[in-house]
Amino acid sequence: MEWVTPEQAEHYESVLGFARTLPRDTLERDREEMFSREAWNRCAEFGIQGMPIPAEFGGGGADVVTTMLGLEALGYGCDDAGLVFSINAHMWTSEVPIWTFGTAQQRERWLAGLCDGRFIGCHTITEPGAGSDAFGMKSTAKPVPGGFVLNGSKTFITNAPVADLLIVFARSGEGIGPYGISAFLVEAATKGLTVGGQLDKMGLRTSPMAEVFLEDCFVPSEALLGGEGQGGEIFQTSMRWERACIMASQVGTMRRTMEACVTYARERRQFGKPIAKFESVSDKIANMKVAVDAARALVLRVGWLMDHGRDTMVEAAVAKTFVSEAAVRTHLDAVQVFGGYGYMTEYGIERGLRDAVGGTIYSGTSEIQRRIIARGLGL
Ligand X SMILES: Cc1cc2nc3c(=O)[nH]c(=O)nc-3n(C[C@H](O)[C@H](O)[C@H](O)COP(=O)(O)OP(=O)(O)OC[C@H]3O[C@@H](n4cnc5c(N)ncnc54)[C@H](O)[C@@H]3O)c2cc1C
CA atoms of 125 and 116, how far apart (whole Å): 25
CA atoms of 51 and 249, how far apart (whole Å): 14
Q: Which is nearer to ligand X, 156 or 241 (CB)?
A: 156
SS (H, E, C) 106-125: HHHHHHHHHHHCCCCEEEEC
User: Is there a contact between 334 and 348 (Cβ–Cβ < 8 Å)?
Assistant: no
The only residue of 14, 151, 194, 365 in contact with ligand X, by rule CB under 6 A: 365
131 makes contact with ligand X (CB under 6 A) = yes
CA atoms of 347 and 104, how far apart (whole Å): 48
How many residues sit in the footprint of ligand X (CB under 6 A)?
20
The only residue of 35, 148, 322, 362 in contact with ligand X, by rule CB under 6 A: 362
- State the binding string over 49-88 for ligand X (x if CB under 6 A, else -): ----------------------------------------
- Which one of the spans 24-32, 240-248, 254-262, 365-373 is the region binding ligand X (CB under 6 A)? 365-373
Q: How many CB atoms sit inside 10 A of residue 311's CB? A: 11
Tell me the C-alpha to C-alpha distance, in Å, between residue 145 and each of 53, 184, 217, 219. 34, 16, 14, 11
The only residue of 94, 126, 249, 253 in contact with ligand X, by rule CB under 6 A: 126
Query: How near is the Cβ of 252 to ligand X at its closest, in Å?
Result: 18
What residues contact 51, with CB distance under 8 A and at least 6 apart?
59, 60, 62, 66, 67, 70, 71, 91
User: Is there a contact between 160 and 195 (Cβ–Cβ < 8 Å)?
Assistant: yes
CA atoms of 214 and 234, how far apart (whole Å): 20
CA angle 48, 49, 53 (to 5 degrees): 105
Query: How near is the Cβ of 77 to ligand X at its closest, in Å?
Result: 22
249 makes contact with ligand X (CB under 6 A) = no
Span 186-245, contacts to ligand X by CB under 6 A: 204
- State the binding string over 152-191 for ligand X (x if CB under 6 A, else -): ----xxx---------------------------------
- State the binding string over 83-112 for ligand X (x if CB under 6 A, else -): ------x-----------------------
Annotated active-site residue in 127, 242, 315, 350: 242
CA atoms of 102 and 8, how far apart (whole Å): 29
The only residue of 341, 371, 373, 376 in contact with ligand X, by rule CB under 6 A: 371
Residue whose beta carbon is closest to ligand X: 131
361 makes contact with ligand X (CB under 6 A) = yes
Range list of H helices, 78-188 = 81-90, 96-101, 104-116
Annotated active-site residue 222? The verdict is: no
Residues of this chain that bind ligand X (CB under 6 A): 89, 122-126, 131-132, 156-158, 204, 358, 361-362, 364-365, 367-368, 371
- Residues with active-site annotation: 242
